[in-house]
Amino acid sequence: NAGVMQNPRHLVRRRGQEARLRCSPMKGHSHVYWYRQLPEEGLKFMVYLQKENIIDESGMPKERFSAEFPKEGPSILRIQQVVRGDSAAYFCASSQQLGHLFTDTQYFGPGTRLTVL
């Protein structure tokens, strides 16, 4: 039973390029969360999605960042026109259908480490 999968594991981009990060949730999970961890900082919530719906994007920067979770395929976190401050580890987590309830457990993927040159 594969866990949460993320790719790529490492991504290098130059300033101004686009970064696309992918996340496949655990089998049977329909809720996906994205978090960002800056160097020497804690994880910060970015966005919560269900299939074809953004439930909560209160942690997403207003510009350049977008996320989707299509009916088929992985969830995508897209960062346009990357800047050096976007360099961080981006973690995806998934949970079962009880995603909105406080008792739900989130399982994390291995993360994508984005480096912006």
Partner 1 sequence: RKEVEQDPGPFNVPEGATVAFNCTYSNSASQSFFWYRQDCRKEPKLLMSVYSSGNEDGRFTAQLNRASQYISLLIRDSKLSDSATYLCVVNGPAYSGAGSYQLTFGKGTKLSVIP
Residues near partner 1, by CB under 8 A: 33, 35, 40-45, 48, 55-56, 58-59, 89, 91, 93, 99-111, 113
Residue placing its CB nearer to partner 1 in the complex, 4 or 79: 4
Q: How far is the CB of 61 from partner 1 (least distance, A)?
A: 15
Q: How far is the CB of 81 from partner 1 (least distance, A)?
A: 27
* 73 burial type by CB count under 10 A (0-12 exposed, 13-18 middle, 19+ buried): exposed
Helix (H, G, I), strand (E, B) or coil at 58: coil
Residue in 117, 109, 33 with CA at minimum distance from that of residue 67: 33
Q: How far is the CB of 62 from partner 1 (least distance, A)?
A: 16
- The amino acid at residue 4 is V
